[in-house]
Structure 1
Amino acid sequence: MKEYLLVALALLVALILGGLSLVVPRLRRRPEPPLPETEVDTRAEEDLAGPPVEAAESDLRTGVLVEPPPVVEAPPLPTIEVPEPTAGRLVRLRSRLSRSQNVFGKGLLGLLSRDRLDEDTWEEIEDSLITADVGIDSTREIVDRLRERTRVLGTRSVDELRTLLAAELVNALDPTLDRSLKTAPKEGVPAVLLVVGVNGAGKTTTCGKIARVLIADGRTVLLGAADTFRAAAADQLETWGGRVGAETVRGPEAADPASVAFDAVKRGIDTAVDTVLVDTAGRLQNKVGLMDELGKVKRVVEKHGPIDETLLVLDATTGQNGLEQARVFTEVVNVTGVVLTKLDGTAKGGIVIAVQRKLGIPVKLVGLGEGPDDLAPFDPAQFVDALLGTEPLARDA
């Protein structure tokens, strides 16, 4: 019996000792506290990625990588052109009249400087003036006065004959006419200029050039695109205005022209500009329709105040035919001045005389080229001097 107890006790002790041998080593090995996650991550990133990269502020705040927005460069401001002064512009552009100079300077002075001024010579002089579109009535008056003065004064030298011819041509242009443009505001209302003329005469381009003339002379200008039947006309006018910093008021295509003109003048009052320049339509298919349209524009605009100038644009290359078209406009609106364009492209510089003679309206501006500043205030004496030129002429044998 004792033997069984001893064996059982020995087995129990062996089991206890075996269990202790398994537990004690585990109790001795305490696990180390884990490193902070950020520390482990940082070390790993440093080992793999090299030197640290500075994070954006938004990254530190949210933990989300946000790319910085792309840098967008502001568009460059448009360059505002400064038109050259109009004073003396006609003198600077005199070379553009070379074709007309051949008729007046070389042609007429060559005839007048002949040793004998007989009937045949005077007829040739008349033909030259008529060919230059001076007009029959004006030509006869000029030739009759020249014949009388050369006979009475006994003038024979080229310089003296040139002086006499220049005086007669200037007289035919009537230098007493008022050629100034009324562009000054009155009582808080800007001066209003209507620009009329047939399409194809360069009306909208000329309107833009007139704006440059006014700005060159110190006026602030607003443009009204009342030629609403041609979308290109409004775009073109806006381009011209943008070059010199002038605002353009326009409406949708085929809008009421009178409404656009009214809005342009109202905007001019609100912005306190000196002058509002209104480009109008130039259709001539129906005279009654044209009269109604321009008449309405005039009536609506005059709700703000009277129209100061109505400028008629004529193409000098159309000659006498252009005068018939011009007469339609003079019957519709009170035209106060003529803008004669494309004088550089014709030998018929005498059209200036014919325009004033037939229409009874002064030429106030002349176009002598395609450049933006090739529109000049008209001065009769300077114009005639440019027509006659300064080249010495040899007398015929």
Structure 2
Amino acid sequence: MLPNGWEWCKLEDIVSFGGGKTPAMDNKEYWHNGNHLWVTSKDMKCSHITNSLMKITDKALEIMTIYERGTLLVVTRSGILRHTLPISILETPATVNQDLKAISPHIKDLSEYLYIVIKANEHFILKEYHKDGTTVDSIDFDKFKCLPIPLAPITEQRRIIAETKHWFTLIEQINQDKSDLQTIINQIKNKILSLAIHGKLVPQAPNDEPASELLKRINPKAEITCDNAQYRKIPKNWCACKLVDICSFLSRGKSPKYSEEDKTYPVFAQKCNLKDGGVSLEQAKFLDPSTINKWNEVYKLQTGDILVNSTGTGTVGRTRLFNTNCLGNYPFVVPDSHVSVVRVLKSICPQYVYTYISSDSIQRYMEENLAGSTNQKELYIGVLENMHIFLPPLAEQYRIVAKIEKLFSSLNNIQKALEV
């Protein structure tokens, strides 16, 4: 039932439809010094059009249609996702490619109202009008043209548009506030790590065995750094040393020979260090079984190993803590040559060292000491070996880790709530 004064109609009854195409990309007459916007499915971002649009020339316009301001554009194929329907209203005249349909209302004032109605029916359209059996995700456009439209009187349309804009503005503000809060949370996490590695996160216990004594006991050959500048930054019972002095294994992995058929022995690569945190072997490739004897036991990853991506702009320096829980039914996993393994001595807390390497100051240290070209940055193992580390007493290492876990748990709960 519709309110008095409303009427049902089909979308095709109140609009005209248009399409587009892609002018030959190798024809400079169509593209050189173009001045007419050309919108593609890649330019459509849910409810807006990006600013990085290509432009076609007057010559190309001879075989194209230009749509006026106020025309609705909707992605109907090649790039639509089942959970969103990219649609927007043109702010300036433009042409489109073959993945978009242009919807031109017979009455221009209908544009914003139709946008609201179509967005309100987004899930219905994607579910009921989805075109099966095609090579690309697409909407059955013949069905879409018949979309039922509850047509309100023009004055009520204006009220609906005004009220919807009001709520959209609030939603956008909330989303921006959530994004700002996410940024603040990440800044707080970085600050917590900074406090932790400088001895300012938990109180010191005078009866703890000094870190210098611990280091002499576990590695008599370790060189304890004694310059005053270093010691002014850390508490009395701490010491400074090189990362290599507290490691039982510090090395990059090897270049493996892969198997296309055998899926028994996974190889840990950079993409296994997930961008959003944690590790996963879902994208791992697998060793050729005939090469297993070339991998010493020391290369098999262990719980507590700190893994550092060591090659490639954008991923180099990414640090994760390994746990054999991710192995599942795999017998073991070995690292490839693009990943460095930091395995600390038994009397050192690996979670603390992971915290240290993950901190902003150490991430900057690694970034500033990369080698190689712009597109293929390298973190050489010597940079890790010579990295200075501020080492607390063992008991304090564990207190620091426990405090970080408690604080991060609260912050993670807030972040999860923001994602709802």
Normalised by the size of structure 2, how large is the TM-score? 0.22
Structure number with the bigger relative contact order (C-alpha 8 A, sep ≥ 6) is 1
| Higher helix proportion | 1
Q: Which has the larger radius of gyration?
A: 1
Normalised by the size of structure 1, how large is the TM-score? 0.23
| Higher strand proportion | 2
